[in-house]
Amino acid sequence: MAGKKVVRYRRKPKAAAIIFGIVLVYIVCFIVIYVSKAKVQTYEVEVGSLMNNASFTAVALRQEEVYNSSYSGDINYYQREGTRVMTGDTVYTVDETGRVSDILAQYTSGDGNALSDENLTVIKNTLTNYKTEYADSGFSAVYDLKSDLNATVLQSINENIMANLDSIVASTGSQDLFKTAKSDKPGIVVYSVDGYEGVTEETIGSVDFKKKSYDKQSLKSEKLITASDPAYKLITSENWTLMFPVTQSDIDKYSLSSKDTLSIKFTKDNITGTFPFKIVNDGKNSYGEITLSKYMIRYATERFLDIEIIVSGKSGIKVPVSAVTENEFYKIPKEYLITNGEKGDYGFLVEQSDSDGKLNQVFKAVDIYKSNDEAVYIKKTELAAGTGIIRMDSSDRFVVGPVEKLRGVYCVNTGYTVFKLVEVIDGNNEYYILKQSLSHGVSIYDRIILDADKYSENEMIY
């Protein structure tokens, strides 16, 4: 055996190794392409709405008249604040000598000045509202709370005084114990002044919306009044206005410039309504102006009101505005559309040349993307431009060519961009609300391209 030569044969490459090499090269190329390619931003379609109410603080402007006292002395109010008075109704009296208080003290029983159930309810509601609306930044509201509580107690005392006044005057023979002030016109009585009584829609400015510097003087908490001091205020019209500052961003975001009515909700008690609306500008700032003819008495004592603009109540498929683009489709008169009797497919009778150059009419099935009473729309890949279409049972002929742009999104569920139609039913600057169950339309959970204008149909993105 010694001296025999050993011949080594070269091994043939195994098929598995070749396949592995091909796969490896493919993976490397794919990784390189993926890393070098710009990242595609997608969005998962969902159902939603544009019910993002916008919150504002508005200033209430009314037709208000301040009435000053002609007398000095102890003042007693006869009307509840926020109630309607008629011409000739007694609003308040002034005891210039102090005799009324002395005489009444002799006739007041032990329980005569006890708070009524109604007064106790008012106090309870006042404390509850203060607790609910309290904020560290609005500590000055404590003084308003004190004034409101004092006024409620004084009001109860005044009611008891009036219940005994006629009998007291009759028994003492004193007819001129006090001076009486009567209303000279009908209106809503308010016992506070704040300097806004003369402000109008034309004169309001940015400084008037600074709530922190707002100073409201309560009149009903005062026992003494001096001649020429304000005694009460009368609101003489049911028509009033809410004004609130808006930025250009607000105007664009909520499409305010195109609205002539506005649906709002009063945050305090969730009262809602739709009222005339417009945007006004004083040369420096823009304001929303809401005109109302009801609810005035409900908010008669309040100058600042928190409101919410009810932007929209529609719901549907919600997609970003940037995801919507346009594609061109052939527009063909609907009367040329026919159906295949055997399969029921939609299509057209198209002209087609045979080998001898003779024109024949051939049925061509197509996918109808959209239709209306006048026309149908098909992809440009379905037929070549210049193709002749014959109308059934007629010599009418239509040449394919006219196009129209339809709105849609690019769906990328398969890794390729597929154009799907959309029909916008609502929207703002950020999102569109789309009609659901649209033929060839986008569906819930579809993944769509965010920046649709950067892509085209049938483009591979993964």
- How many angstroms separate the CA atoms of 358 and 72, rounded? 113
Using a 10 angstrom Cβ sphere, with 0-12 exposed, 13-18 middle and 19 or more buried, the burial of residue 379 is middle
Between CA 275 and CA 262 the distance in angstroms is 6
Segment 394-421, tens digit of pLDDT: 889 999 999 999 999 999 999 899 999 9
Answer for the pair 77, 223: CB distance below 8 angstroms, yes or no: no
Residue 350's CB is within 10 A of a number of other CB atoms, namely 19
To the nearest whole percent, how much of the chain has pLDDT over 70? 80
Angle at 432 between CA 430 and CA 437, to 5 degrees: 155
* Sign of the torsion angle spanned by Cα atoms 142, 145, 151, 153: negative
Q: How many CA atoms lie within 13 A of 316 on its CB side?
A: 20
Mean pLDDT, to the nearest integer, of 291-320?
90
- The mean pLDDT of 232-253, rounded to a whole number, is 94
Mean pLDDT of the chain: 84
Question: One-letter amino acid identity for 161?
Answer: I
**pLDDT over 70 (residue 144):** no
DSSP 374: S
Residues in CB range of 224: below 8 A, 6 or more apart: 72, 73, 74, 75
The pLDDT score that the predictor gives to residue 164 is 63
Which tokens sit at 201?
């829609």
State yes or no: pLDDT of 142 exceeds 80: no
Q: Measuring CA to CA, which residue among 299, 292, 304 is closest to residue 240?
A: 292
Q: Give the number of other CB atoms < 10 A from CB of residue 355.
A: 5
Q: Tell me: pLDDT of 13 over 70.
A: no
d(CA 234, CA 278): 27
Task: Give the pLDDT mean for 195-206.
Answer: 94
DSSP three-state, residue 141: helix
The helix/strand/coil state of 121 is helix
Measured at the CA of 349, the angle between CA 343 and CA 351, to 5 degrees, comes to 135
End-to-end CA distance of the chain: 64
- The pLDDT tens digits of the residues spanning 58-71 come to 999 999 999 999 99
Question: Which stretches does DSSP call E strand in 334-429?
Answer: 338-339, 346-353, 359-365, 370-371, 375-378, 388-390, 397-399, 403-411, 418-421, 424-427
What stretches of 69-119 adopt beta strand conformation (E)?
73-77, 84-85, 90-95
> How is residue 158 written in tokens?
């005044």
Q: DSSP string covering 293-337, please?
A: SSSTGGGTT-SEEEEEE-----EEEEEEGGG-EEEEEEEEEGGG-
Q: How many residues does the chain have?
A: 462
pLDDT of res. 283 = 85
13 C-beta neighbours (distance < 10 Å), count: 9
Q: How far is CA 322 from the centre of its chain?
A: 21
How high is the pLDDT of residue 382?
Answer: 93
330-359 pLDDT, tens per residue?
999 999 999 886 777 899 999 988 877 788
The C-alpha atoms of residue 238 and residue 192 are separated, in whole angstroms, by 19
Phi, psi of 26 (to 5 degrees): -60, -45
pLDDT of amino acid 121: 76
Instruction: With beta carbons less than 8 A apart as the criterion, state whether 123 and 146 touch.
Output: no
Q: Which two tokens stand for residue 253?
A: 């975001």
Q: Which helix (H) or strand (E) holds 19?
A: helix 15-36
